[in-house]
Structure 1
Amino acid sequence: MALWRRSSSWLTSCSRAPAGIGGGNEAKVSPEVAPEDAAEQIHEEAEDEERWSRLLPELLTDIVRRVDAGAERWPPRRDVVACACVCRRWRDAAVAVVRPPLECGRITFPSSLKQPGPRDAPMHCFIRRNKSTSTFYLYLSLTQALTDKGKFLLAARRFRHGAHTEYIISYDSDDLYPGSNSGVGKLRSDFLGTKFVMYDNQKPYDGAKSLKSRSSRRFASKQISPHDSGDNLEVGQVSYRFNFLKSRGPRRMHCSIQCPVGQGTASDPSKEKPPSTSSSLSLKNKAPRWHDHLQCWCLNFHGRVTVASVKNFQLVAPAGTSDPWGVGDEETVILQFGKIEDDAFTMDFRHPLSAYQAFAICLTSFGTKLACE
């Protein structure tokens, strides 16, 4: 079987929506393969990869550039990922052609989830919650509708460990357990659920071998863009202010997130120039106004939120903290999150936050916080 066809079929299977975490791949039974058949298959795949890698660099770059230009949205954008799956030379060409979200406003590779979002307009996403399994799924919106089929990006599951709660965040909707090979990071709360610490625990992995060893419903294959080594690195904090007087009002939250001031332009972190500096971005929730007629607190979500909820919020940068990133004034909303259905919420974010950071911040809003309300 040609490598291109194998990669494309795998991408088709991993583009389906997650079906939850019950069972996973542990329940699947694979047919036994004779050693000689396995060796022959590996040899054929190596020959296919060598054949594809013989294309002239100029021709290869032109092919990838044409595919990228003709696939501006998902699901057609999977063709760009398929190009990166062919072999190492094709991957390098795709990385050189595809621009990061900050420049093109699109998410293509897994590494895009940890790169700053677009500067000019927010990136529209939505989160679906499964209360029975304590799982949360992040999707990229494909249309102007509040919810649609969406493109699966990340998944998270909530675990309770003694006096604190943890959220395991993963690329794989079927692998949401501590120590997951597809883990992106985690979120840990204190006993009261008012203070959260965000960690980046992405570990290095070995290139194209992941595709041969395991196939599952993932955002995209791990062989596309290896990440830098990092094990439980603290990258942000979110805190909710206590309401000592028990006065009626919305939650008050404060975020401190590590964001690069000088960001590279490559789509693959292994190809990026290291950021010149990394600084802490401070964000606070935008104060809502009291509506006398409706008798409730209100924020202008520009039609992206339809249900009143204590979980709804907008984050802005306080005065004097936005200059390093060119965020703008206090009226520029960096992240907004709000309810549209019983278990569906919109999540819109922009530069300098990444999709992973925005998702982690929104996860802190779930759960009861009696001390803050």
Structure 2
Amino acid sequence: MLSALGRVSAAVILCCFFLFTGQVAARNTSFQITSPLHWHNRTDSLNNDLKQQVMAPDNDAFIEVYAVRSSQIRTQAIADSMEQAMRSRGKAFLRNRISSKPVHVDGNPGIIREYSGRYNGTLLHAVTLYTHSSGQAFAIFGVYAEDEAARYRETIYTSVTSLRFSGSHAPKPSSDHDETDISGAAGDGHSGVCCSYYGLWDFASRDTRVHLMPNHLYGKKRNRFYWECRGDQVTIHWADGAVETWQRQDRNRLTRTNVWGGIDKAIRLKDFFIMDGRTYTACSGYGMDLPNQAPDIPRTDRAKKISGSMGCQWGLAHGSLKPGQPGKWELLASQGVVLKFEDPYKKGEQRYFVRAFFADGELAAQTRVGLSGSLTLGPGTYTIEVTTDMRYARWRCEWK
């Protein structure tokens, strides 16, 4: 079904690009995305502004990259015009906008929007990235059936947001240090801005701590892990193949938007590392007023009701909702958890919204639940809020 949908989308999106830009399709387009493993990748014999098409082996999900000349159109205009044009032509997977948020794409402004819609009775989900670079506008669409979200969501989001442009995505450094090691340098370790990130970082969302240091120092045992920076952005290539781009918020804190729309945090615990008896210290100039201790992680797991018509205990929370009468509870997690929400009636005829807040009140994650939904949270203390815009809704959440 989605294979046919992919062929239809190429024609519709092509028309839309001509309409909203008034430009011809861009030629000699230089970009790259990380295609999912074993997916079928096409970059030749494509039509006009369709530059790359990547299909899942079973043809039930796809990613398509489009580019046109559009040097005078801003990112917001690109996103709005594309959305309006495709909706007016009945584009199924863009029918309902779920979310929209600004992002940085390889140093350029961008917008990520998520959508849902039905095609031949199948509920679809789309992750769309709009951006521009060097006089060209880009739109990347990742589409899959909603009932295949567990299989495709992470994969598609990672691929869509991996967009890089010519000359900005450095190849993986070799095991021998040379001038291409953009993570820092040898010698005194202070020959580039990336050395300002040196030290031990706690990535709670991955339940791991890692030293950021020049890539050549990791050696052969960790040669699948490497990282790079561009100003206030850090891109980490994890050993499991995942690629994550983090934004510096202050001298010792990085954040990123995860696939569920929540905010992951990484905190620096030390501003130095020791290798072969030598101490490497983070560059000066950013300030190194580091906390005296690690982040406050609860020692025990606990769930406690705050307000609303609900009940909870560790591993289970449930209740009923009316507009203006949310359910709230406190969650203390000593390790990362996945909160799985569902419609207790298992019909998908109601909807409710879930938001998780850090202890300081900052939004950690959010989701909309029809039939089901989930939030992934790292260790910490959270306030969970469940609301609805319907006259009445029941909800249920389980976790381990």
Q: Which category of TM-score, normalised to the shorter sequence, fits these structures?
A: under 0.3
Larger radius of gyration: 2
Q: Which has the higher contact order (CA 8 A, sep 6+)?
A: 1
Higher helix share: 1
TM-score by length of 1: 0.27
More strand by share: 2
